[in-house]
């Protein structure tokens, strides 16, 4: 069995610059996220790792993180992100 490499989590504040070149035609991208399950924006779904849709904020506005399964906005519950391999 091949050895696995741990995920390197990126800070949420780096997403806009790091993902700018890989956004799809809708202006977003689906990534893996690590969330703070105790944050009110996690909506008590109790899954610390999940896929989420990232969309950069327009005209200097806030960036958006949407849970891919539940469709809720995660706001500041995201503590890290990574591109799926």
How many domains does the chain fold into? Answer: 1
Whether 16 is in a domain gets the answer: no
Domain with 74 in it: 33-85
Whether 19 is in a domain gets the answer: no
Whether 2 is in a domain gets the answer: no
Whether 22 is in a domain gets the answer: no
Q: Has residue 2 got a pLDDT over 70?
A: no
| Strand locations in the chain (E) | 29-35, 49-55, 64-67, 78-82
Whether 81 is in a domain gets the answer: yes
Q: In what order do the strands lie in the sheet with 64-67?
A: 64-67, 49-55, 29-35, 78-82
The pTM assigned to this predicted structure is: 0.85
Report percent pLDDT > 70 for the chain. 94
Tell me the three state secondary structure of residue 29: strand
**pLDDT value at residue 44:** 67
Q: CB–CB of 32/8 below 8 Å? A: no
Q: Whole-angstrom Cα distance, residue 83 to residue 73?
A: 19
């Amino acid at each position: 069995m091949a050895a696995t490499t741990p995920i390197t989590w990126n800070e949420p504040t780096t997403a806009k610059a790091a993902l700018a070149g890989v956004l799809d035609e809708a202006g977003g991208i689906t990534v893996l996220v690590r969330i703070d399950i105790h944050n009110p924006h996690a909506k008590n779904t109790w899954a610390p790792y999940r896929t989420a849709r990232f969309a950069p904020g327009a005209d200097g506005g806030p960036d958006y993180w949407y849970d891919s399964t539940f469709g809720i906005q995660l706001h500041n519950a995201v503590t890290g992100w990574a591109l799926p391999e």
